[in-house]
């Protein structure tokens, strides 16, 4: 693991794959850089890319302050992505975002277009959390009711956190074993001073830091980057219609629907997704 200091002093935890002299692919995590599976990072690196995934503020190994009362917005997170891209390579980077990281990536591409050469959006939507536009499918109510009915774990208990992640994944249609393994890695990466706080940051108040004015959906037709939209057919959190909307509204965007996927990229799909990203 490494770290990168942004111009305003925020430390971002980063991880590198591949040759640093190769073109940069910058992966914006959801609540953790481990939202991007190792298999995909390694496939992109084999394809001749310098792959960097990183944790957003208030998560993982990045600067943690108070996720319940963030002193920044989605546009600040977008500026972090542009600063990191520029600090790692003097050439524009291929920017990719997954989940809430996909919202960050959309705004980064709009606010800092010169920093990026291509855009990939995975399992995300074109609006911030909150009331959804009438033409976009909202979260699957039954799945979310089951998800939110799960009792919160003791965030300082590694095993309890891992089991909570596995149970959540089963409800969402993801691989429980893979989710358990990722949760254990997230726990092990948490600051030793207070792992319970660091773990809770991955679950609590993530969406509260995504205020963004003005709305960015109306600006999507202005994106001039080659773009790829990847979405799981079985995603109940951001149903596939959200990805379809992104692909319609970003000029020339390609839509790749993973029929057997939900909210995560299964290892079995890593080569297919990497090939589509490399084709940009």
Q: Give the pTM.
A: 0.93
**What's the count of helices (H) and strands (E) in the chain, helices before strands?**
9, 8
CB atoms under 10 Å from CB of 211, counted, come to 14
What confidence score (pLDDT) does residue 203 get?
A: 47
The CA distance from 255 to 104, in Å, is 19
> Residue 204: its pLDDT value, please?
46
Question: What letters, b where the CB count within 10 A reaches 16 and e where it falls short, cover 150-188?
Answer: eeebebeebebbbbbbbbbbebbbbbbebbbebbeebbe
Q: What's the confidence (pLDDT) of residue 57?
A: 83
Do β-strands 227-232 and 116-122 pair in parallel, antiparallel, or remain unpaired? parallel
The predicted pLDDT at position 10 comes to 81
Report d(CA 153, CA 186) in Å as an integer: 15
How many Cα atoms are found within 13 Å in the side-chain-facing hemisphere of 176?
A: 7
Distance, in Å, from the CA atom of 49 to the CA atom of 63, rounded to the nearest integer, reads 27
d(CA 150, CA 165): 10
Hey, what domains does the chain have and what are their CATH numbers? 2-138+193-279 (3.40.50.1820)
pLDDT at 196: 57
176: its two tokens: 């429980």
Residue position matching structure tokens 């394809």:
47
DSSP for 113-127, written as a single string: GGGEEEEEEES--SS
How far, rounded to the nearest angstrom, does the alpha carbon of residue 252 sit from its chain's CA centroid? 22
**Chain mean position to CA 84:** 15
Contact between residue 109 and residue 223 where contact means Cβ atoms under 8 Å apart = yes
pLDDT means over runs of 10, the chain (280 residues): 80 94 96 93 98 87 66 87 96 97 96 98 91 92 96 92 96 98 90 56 50 84 98 97 98 98 98 98
d(CA 78, CA 175): 30
* Cα 40 to Cα 37, 60, 88, 267, distances in angstroms: 6, 20, 20, 7
CA distance 251 to 175: 33
Contact 273, 121 (CB under 8 A): no
Of 97, 78, 95, nearest in space to 31 by CA: 97
pLDDT at position 202 is 47
């Amino acid at each position: 693991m490494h770290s990168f200091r942004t111009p305003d002093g925020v430390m971002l935890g980063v991880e590198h794959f591949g040759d640093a002299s190769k073109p940069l692919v910058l992966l914006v995590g959801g609540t953790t850089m481990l939202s991007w599976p190792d298999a995909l990072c390694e496939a992109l690196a084999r394809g001749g890319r310098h792959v960097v995934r990183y944790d957003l503020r208030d998560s993982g190994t990045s600067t943690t302050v108070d996720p319940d009362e963030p002193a920044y917005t989605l546009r600040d997170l977008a500026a972090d992505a542009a600063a990191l891209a520029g600090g790692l390579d003097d050439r524009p980077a291929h920017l990719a975002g997954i989940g809430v990281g996909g919202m960050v990536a959309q705004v980064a591409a709009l606010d800092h277009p010169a920093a990026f050469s291509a855009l990939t959006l995975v399992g995300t939507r074109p609006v911030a959390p909150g009331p959804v536009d009438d033409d976009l499918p909202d979260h699957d109510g039954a799945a979310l009711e089951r998800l939110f009915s799960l009792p919160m774990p003791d965030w300082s208990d590694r095993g309890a956190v891992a089991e909570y992640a596995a149970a959540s994944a089963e409800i969402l249609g993801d691989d429980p074993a893979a989710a358990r393994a990722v949760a254990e890695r997230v726990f092990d990466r948490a600051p030793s001073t207070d792992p319970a706080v660091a773990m809770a940051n991955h679950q609590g108040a993530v969406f509260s830091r995504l205020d963004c004015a003005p709305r960015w959906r109306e600006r999507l037709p202005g994106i001039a980057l080659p773009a790829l939209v990847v979405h799981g057919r079985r995603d109940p959190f951001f149903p596939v219609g959200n990805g379809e909307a992104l692909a319609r509204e970003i000029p020339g965007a390609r839509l790749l629907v993973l029929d057997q996927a939900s909210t995560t990229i299964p290892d079995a799909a890593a080569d297919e997704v990497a090939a589509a990203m490399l084709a940009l």
